[in-house]
Amino acid sequence: MWRGVARSIPKPALLGSRSRGVALRMYSSAPPMDDYEKKIFEILSEELSPKNLSVRDVSGGCGSMFAIEVESSKFKGIPMIKQHRIVNEVLKDEIAKWHGLQLKTKGV
């Protein structure tokens, strides 16, 4: 029964095939950070000594909205809301210039 279902699912076009008009874009890694993303990254790195840190401008490049993920031993045993308050305090001068912030934190 399942074999018939599996066969009826259309197969994706091959990468070299142009007959279906499929556009594929492959990414090997995240795009490089711009200068402002690097500045935010450096501020957080100095203050929080993170194990993992990701800073991305998600506003389309205008610098008004950022997605930040921070994993730091300084967050271990601290409730998430307090972790977020710590990040907000570290970045308060920068956050004042932004429209919004997507923040994920984790104690490690």
Instruction: Please give the chain's pLDDT, 108 residues, in tens.
Output: 555 555 555 555 555 555 555 555 555 566 788 999 999 999 999 999 999 999 999 998 899 999 999 999 999 999 999 999 999 999 999 999 999 999 999 999
pLDDT value of position 61:
86
Amino acid making up residue 37: E
CATH number assigned to the domain covering 35-107: 3.30.300.90
pLDDT value of position 8:
55
From the list 63, 64, 78, the residue with the least C-alpha distance to 108 is 78
Q: Find the helix or strand (DSSP H, E) in which 85 lies.
A: helix 80-90
Angular region, 17: left φ>0, alpha ψ -120 to 50, beta rest: beta
- Structure pTM? 0.72
pLDDT value of position 31:
78
